[in-house]
Amino acid sequence: MPVTVAEGAGFCFGVQRAVEGIFDLLGREHRRVVTLGPLIHNSQIAKALAERGVETVEAVPERGFDGVVVLRSHGVPLHCHLQLAERGIDSLDLTCPFVRRIHDAVREGSAQGRLVLIVGHADHPEVVGICSFARAHEVFASPEELAAFTQQNPGVEQRPVLLVAQTTFDVEQWRRCKNFVEKVYTNAQISDTICNATENRQRQAAALAADSDAMLVVGARHSSNTNRLYELCRQHCARVLLVESASEIPAGFLQPGDKVGITAGASTPAYVIKEAADKCQTSTRP
């Protein structure tokens, strides 16, 4: 039986741009290179960068740092940009353009006096960065949380607000939050900031899972979009496994004749997906 890889599996535009950008930098830069936070959520890429001498730091280096600071694809908080400029440190901004668009929208909305409502996971680095561009904000992971906030703050539904979403957030949850704001808030500006790749990936994964005996989700366990794919596939397929590489697929998970579907997170390299597909093909051969 066939092993089918979802069309949208693997690197999204922002991740591809970040990976190509840093390796291009390493090909022409002889000074020290560090990333401010992990460049992307992928252990294989992290290992490859470490082998090239790239370090991950959690704070902007002090003045006098002789090297280049690379800004992660998820973006960094506003104070990091200000510190880099103030300390005169060279940097390469590899923030995903779709994330940067949210920063710009939030900055503009805040300047207009809008309360920024952010749909996403509060501890996700992308959301942490987005919050830093807002003068006033609230973060919600579900429409229920948004409804509770509205009830607990009488009159807030009449305030000017801006609604945005983490680019990799659950599409259906975003739609429910948007519908709530459209019905309840009287002065709302809504910006659809979930990127098309996220929506397509989730739709394709659900359809493939519904047509498969077993489903494999390949990606980092701490990746928000990978975990969402895993939960989505579980709604449509009885046997679903999340792995970071082919070596984690246990013996016995797949049976000869199984129809297997594979999807992958936005930070999963193509060669990792291929290795998983090859192993599945061998395991399901009658």
CATH 3.40.50.11270 domain extents, the chain: 13-96
* 89/285: higher pLDDT: 89
Tell me the CATH number of domain 3-10+196-283, given options 1.10.3720.10, 3.40.50.720, 3.40.1010.20, 3.40.605.10. 3.40.1010.20
Please give the Cα distance from 202 to 189 (Å, whole number). 26
**Residue 240, C-beta contacts closer than 8 angstroms, at least 6 positions apart:** 209, 214, 215, 216, 217, 230, 233, 234
For the chain, the average pLDDT equals: 95
Q: Which residue numbers are catalytic? A: 126
Residue with the larger pLDDT of the pair 51 and 284:
51
Residue environment code for 77-90, b if the CB has 16+ CB neighbours within 10 A, otherwise e: bbebbebbeeeebe
Give the pLDDT score at 1: 56
Domain 13-96 has CATH 3.40.50.2300: no
Q: What is the pLDDT of residues 206-265, one digit of tens each?
A: 999 999 999 999 999 989 899 999 999 999 999 999 999 999 999 889 988 899 999 999
Question: Residue 204 pLDDT > 90, yes or no?
Answer: yes
- For 113-140, b/e burial (b = at least 16 CB within 10 A) is ebbbbbbbbeebbbbbbbbbbbeebbbb
Confidence class for position 48, pLDDT limits 50, 70, 90: very high
Domain with CATH 3.40.1010.20 in the chain: 3-10+196-283, 98-190
Q: What is the mean pLDDT of residues 6-33?
A: 95
Q: What is the band of 8 on the pLDDT scale with cuts at 50, 70, 90?
A: confident
Any idea what the Cα angle at residue 91 is, between residues 86 and 94, rounded to 5°?
Answer: 130
Q: What are phi and psi of 104, to 5 degrees?
A: -65, -40
pLDDT at residue 286 tops 90? no
Q: Which amino acid is at 137?
A: H
CA distance 181 to 139: 14
| Polymer length in residues for the chain | 286
- The reported pLDDT for the residue numbered 140 is 97
The architecture in CATH of the region 98-190 reads: 3-Layer(aba) Sandwich (3.40)
Whether the model clears a pTM of 0.85, i.e. scores above it, the answer is yes
